[in-house]
Structure 1
């Protein structure tokens, strides 16, 4: 029995219209060229044929009521309209065909190039070595003054940020709980790329763990087109009826943004999110995202004209217990202090969007590039668990990239929040100078007991030690509140972890000062 044929017969019977199979008899080419894929999916109808006697044949998956007739006549004035029944899956096929026409083969754009290059790391290494050598030869009084100044910068920056983190352990956008009435929940689109049978089964298992009514879920399984192995795996996995399988052209599937944009064209939800194959979102993440979006909408309406709408909510991505290294645990402790400033990852997954605003701003590229002025994507108090976190090298590189892009955005927008994020790295520019410089000054001053220079050096080192100790205590308290006392023990290793912050900050400065031409990264 053909399930697609059965669906079409059921749709025709329900709508009391003759049936038309849009896969076997697609819209004529000149009409297909004018199709807006997003509108086809959202409105539920498509013009598919203009007969010789002037009738416009319109395939619809929604009842042909007076409002639908007016809607069609508005777009095709002066035409006699003839309605035929089709299924939503047929409309998806039409939308994908129109999308392929709009995005011809080879049109996928590679991810943005890195702004931080190996040259910048080399420059920081050379300058750091030169500064360390110079510290042993400059007059001790000069070194002591430099240490004191940088220690004060570190003291003020770290202390103010630590106090702010302790007094407000909530995210920028707090996740709401909602009112518990499932009938009021909006449709929510979930995009799940799956490249093989194992990832198909994992994706379906992740969907099953979500605490969201299936009849309000619009789940799209994105699979590579013309891949017989994956297609067979999908058939064996037998996705439920509310999961749509979307084939993505091979040349676009390898680009995560282009692949997700294919799914976005078919989205029917008010909100949309994509999850990578190795990500497992918290069960209540969708409900809490809806509550946060709705609360922000209410606040915007109360604020009146000029309020900037919330486009996206970025959930934290954490490694699971099996894949979590000591470095990953230190990173989690570090984030409790919020000392890193702008740390958002330039990845499109685990970020929830207002679907229409995402389309208006060009699709999922918005999540992996610099944000234009007037676009808000805020951190969100929910977690998606993944197999493993990036190691220290990748983490440092991503942090430097984020700071370079933050500086550029601050120059372009001048927004106070963005400017604050740019000022935070100054704390870490001062960190190695204050600590290493104080150690060098203390070593050099051992033979000059009571000398003013040595006293100043030890004063600077003492200030740095006080701030380090205070920050470690604040981090331990914050993490103990969120993740328990055992996790708080990793706060003791923060001073070492902050050296990576310092490297990232200095590399970002090098990238801003010395710009290099580089090809775009391969997808």
Structure 2
């Protein structure tokens, strides 16, 4: 077993593409100007009657939020219902022998680990069982220098020669993308992939990815495998989580693929051309959803991501606190990514084109906004049921009222239906009934979203990587 300590490589990512700063100077100034203008107009309207009334501004805000809701839900539904026509990459077992073993490319597997001693034996076993010549695989176990628990567990194991232990310096930021960048600096493979500690990739996934890259044009620099959960039946939370993943990877992302929209990558099982990844500057070590950010940067470069039919199974979070920590990190990273790629709107529009740019805003920014605003509208609805229409009716002109009601009723029903479709697509038939209670799951998302915002507002927590505990469910499940 090779063990090396690698200093953090020099950052090659442009500062304007990094989430190290929450807002650019232009965003900060623009935000202050907008807030000051709104406060000034409201004050003038309330004190001296200048301009539209305060009620008008409230009606405008309600109408604007309703439009955002309609756009986000319509976009999500369109991606799900357009998934069937996606040219997703499929390979039969016989196809995988088209490339003889001796002609297969060298492959680097990056495995960032932190406090994963309990799942380490299973991980090593699964990676050793991949159907790929051992002499053409480089497996880099990326271990934080201060992670004495995992290092001790590794010391007691005998690893094959393709495994290398790379120690990540104990310095800020302590994030997965920083570890991956250190691993990328040592990668010797023509292609590389990330796997997480609890992953169970299909044994033939590397062969499928190599064949995909050989058949696709060079502008396709990433192939994303599908992620699903191996423990959907642990409890209600894992049922909802598994349905969400099934809908996302088996339907929504295929819809994005069909229309050649920017695909926010999953955090694992994304296969890259190594040279293209280096040219992109690797991962943003300050972004806590480095995968989604990289998907947008690939699109801005004019390159493509394709979806591949090959499954990696992960462990669905079965404990509420652990789930909230994980989800708040994801939402925090989506906000970071959206802010980074909104710093120069005109430039991004030119690089992505109108269709891709609009899809990016709907996927990252506006979708997160609706998650944050949900509790407010739920509270207004409950207030309406308790007090009647007299207090809220002025805020909701007929058009806003009917559009809002239709969005709430039909939108929720259709989103539940999409999740049911995801369950059927992945054979999760027993989870279909649980989708009737999924609005409770969306409520938990809102809790996580507010936690994410509070962390972003605290510089000490802005790039904090909240660890997801694995090994909560027996690996025999």
Instruction: Give the TM bin, normalised by the shorter chain.
Output: 0.5 to 0.7
Are the structure 2 counterparts of residues 499 and 239 from structure 1 closer, same or farther at C-alpha, using a change threshold of 3 Å? closer
Of 301, 305, 312, the match for 1:384: 312
Structure 1: segments with no counterpart, 5+ residues: 1-88, 104-110, 117-137, 301-308
Give the corresponding residue for 2:409. 465
CA-to-aligned-CA distance 1:23-47 (integer Å, 9 cap, x gap): xxxxxxxxxxxxxxxxxxxxxxxxx
How far, CA to CA, are the matches of 2:79 and 2:147 in structure 1? Answer: 52
Are the structure 2 counterparts of residues 443 and 520 from structure 1 closer, same or farther at C-alpha, using a change threshold of 3 Å? closer
Are the structure 2 counterparts of residues 431 and 232 from structure 1 closer, same or farther at C-alpha, using a change threshold of 3 Å? closer
Of 380, 394, 403, the match for 1:437: 380
Which range moves more in the overlay, 173-182 or 417-426? 173-182
CA-to-aligned-CA distance 1:428-465 (integer Å, 9 cap, x gap): 536556554344345444799x99x8987577425521
Of 252, 277, 287, the match for 1:358: 277
Are the structure 2 counterparts of residues 489 and 115 from structure 1 closer, same or farther at C-alpha, using a change threshold of 3 Å? farther
CA-to-aligned-CA distance 1:53-75 (integer Å, 9 cap, x gap): xxxxxxxxxxxxxxxxxxxxxxx
Shift of 1:493: 2.5
Shift of 1:252: 7.4
How far, CA to CA, are the matches of 1:226 and 1:139 in structure 2? Answer: 56
Of 131, 150, 163, the match for 1:211: 131
Give the TM-score normalised by the residue count of structure 2: 0.61
Are the structure 2 counterparts of residues 520 and 485 from structure 1 closer, same or farther at C-alpha, using a change threshold of 3 Å? closer
Give the corresponding residue for 2:301. 374
How far, CA to CA, are the matches of 1:462 and 1:489 in structure 2? Answer: 23
Give the corresponding residue for 1:491. 435
Greater Rg over alpha carbons, structure: 1
SS across alignment from 1:268: coil
Give the corresponding residue for 1:277. 197
How far, CA to CA, are the matches of 1:249 and 1:463 in structure 2? Answer: 48
Structure 2: segments with no counterpart, 5+ residues: 11-17, 24-52, 257-261, 466-477
Give the corresponding residue for 1:289. 209
Q: Is the 8 A contact 1:151 1:464 kept in 2?
A: no
- Tell me if 1:268 matches 2:188: yes
How far, CA to CA, are the matches of 1:286 and 1:266 in structure 2? Answer: 19
SS across alignment from 2:139: strand
How far, CA to CA, are the matches of 2:59 and 2:9 in structure 1? Answer: 64
SS across alignment from 2:209: helix
Task: Give the total of aligned pairs.
Answer: 386
Q: Is the 8 A contact 1:327 1:392 kept in 2?
A: no
Of 421, 434, 437, the match for 2:360: 421
Give the corresponding residue for 2:98. 181
Backbone CA RMSD of aligned residues: 5.2
Shift of 1:354: 1.2
Q: Is the 8 A contact 1:260 1:364 kept in 2?
A: yes
Q: Is the 8 A contact 2:110 2:180 kept in 1?
A: yes
Q: Is the 8 A contact 1:445 1:454 kept in 2?
A: no
